[in-house]
Structure formats: C-alpha cells, structure tokens
C-alpha cells in the first residue's frame, strides 16, 4: 500500500478477512438468504441464552426510575429467557439433538467446523466437511420450518 506520509514509499498492512460463519456461507452461496436470516435468529437466541447480549442505561434516569427500570428489565429478561428456551427446545425436537448441538456450537459458541468435528470424534478435513454439511442442512430445515409455520399462521380461519 502506498505510504501517504512518504511520496513513493510503501507500507505493509495486514487485512483481517475473517468474517463470521453465516457471512462466509452466504457470500460463497452455500446457504441462501432465508437460511442466513434464520441462522441470525438462532445466533441471537444462543447468545441471549448465554447472556452475551447486554444493555445499558443511556438515559441517566433518577435513582427511583433506575430501580423500577431494573426490576422491569429483570422481568422482561426472564420472559425473554423463557421464550428463547422454548424456541431452542423446539429446534432440538424438530432438528434432532445432533444438528441442534452443531448449530449451538457453531453459532452460540463460535466454534469452527473443525472444532465441532473434533469434539464429536470426527477430526480432520473430512470431519469438518461433514459438520459443515450438517450445519447447512440444519439451517435449511429451520428455514423450511419457519416458512411452513408462517404459511400455517396465514391460513388459519379468522
């Protein structure tokens, strides 16, 4: 890269090309947009279940308001946790334990396909490919389930 501080000079730069697994899968056309979107939902749910998504008090409310807000936030988080737990349990029933665990390890824990394969005793490139395919199949199944659930909801009599 050209050095802006030295005419004719060059500097060495490092570029971080690592993107998350869903972005990588979508950009290489290994999953479609519906699978990507359902993957994002699953990733968010797993992160929420692990307590990784935080909040802040940016409004600077008074002490009484802050206490009330904290209590309401706790109640809201409990409701969210119960909803997320039910969603993850539903995924486990629909996908099966193995595929649900693969999704959780890749999306919730941020493990690579190779790491998940090694945990399941299927190390090496072949094992990583197997896990990658199971991961994509699980996303496809979730996208189809979400689509079917949406169709059922729209077909109900009023």
Query: For position 154, what pLDDT does the model report?
Result: 41
Express each pLDDT in 103-132 by its tens digit.
999 999 999 999 999 999 998 999 999 999
Q: Which has more pLDDT, 145 or 13?
A: 145
> Quick one: tokens of 37?
């979107």
Express each pLDDT in 133-146 by its tens digit.
999 999 999 999 88
The domain spans of the chain are 21-155
- Residues 22-47 have a mean pLDDT of 92
Is pLDDT of 32 > 50?
yes
Q: What is the pTM of this model?
A: 0.69
Sign, Cα dihedral of 84, 85, 90, 91: positive
Is pLDDT of 83 > 90?
no
Query: For position 109, what pLDDT does the model report?
Result: 92
Q: Which has more pLDDT, 81 or 122?
A: 122
The C-alpha atoms of residue 90 and residue 69 are separated, in whole angstroms, by 31
* 135-147 exposure pattern, b = at least 16 Cβ within 10 A, e = fewer: beebbebbbeeee
The C-alpha atoms of residue 99 and residue 141 are separated, in whole angstroms, by 10
Query: For position 114, what pLDDT does the model report?
Result: 96
Express each pLDDT in 49-58 by its tens digit.
776 655 444 4
């Amino acid at each position: 890269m050209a050095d802006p501080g030295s005419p004719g000079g060059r500097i060495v730069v490092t570029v971080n090309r690592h993107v998350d697994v869903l972005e990588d899968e979508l950009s290489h056309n290994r999953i479609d947009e519906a699978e990507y979107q359902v993957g994002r939902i699953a990733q968010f749910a797993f992160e929420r279940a692990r307590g990784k998504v935080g909040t802040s008090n940016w409004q600077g409310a008074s002490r009484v308001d802050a206490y009330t807000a904290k209590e309401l936030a706790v109640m809201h988080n409990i409701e969210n946790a119960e909803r997320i737990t039910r969603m993850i349990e539903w995924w486990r029933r629909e996908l099966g334990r193995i595929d649900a665990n693969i999704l959780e390890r890749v999306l919730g824990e941020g493990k690579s396909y190779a790491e998940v394969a090694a945990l399941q005793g299927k190390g090496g490139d072949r094992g990583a490919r197997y896990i990658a395919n199971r991961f994509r199949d699980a996303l496809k199944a979730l996208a189809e389930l979400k689509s079917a659930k949406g169709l059922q909801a729209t077909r109900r009599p009023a």
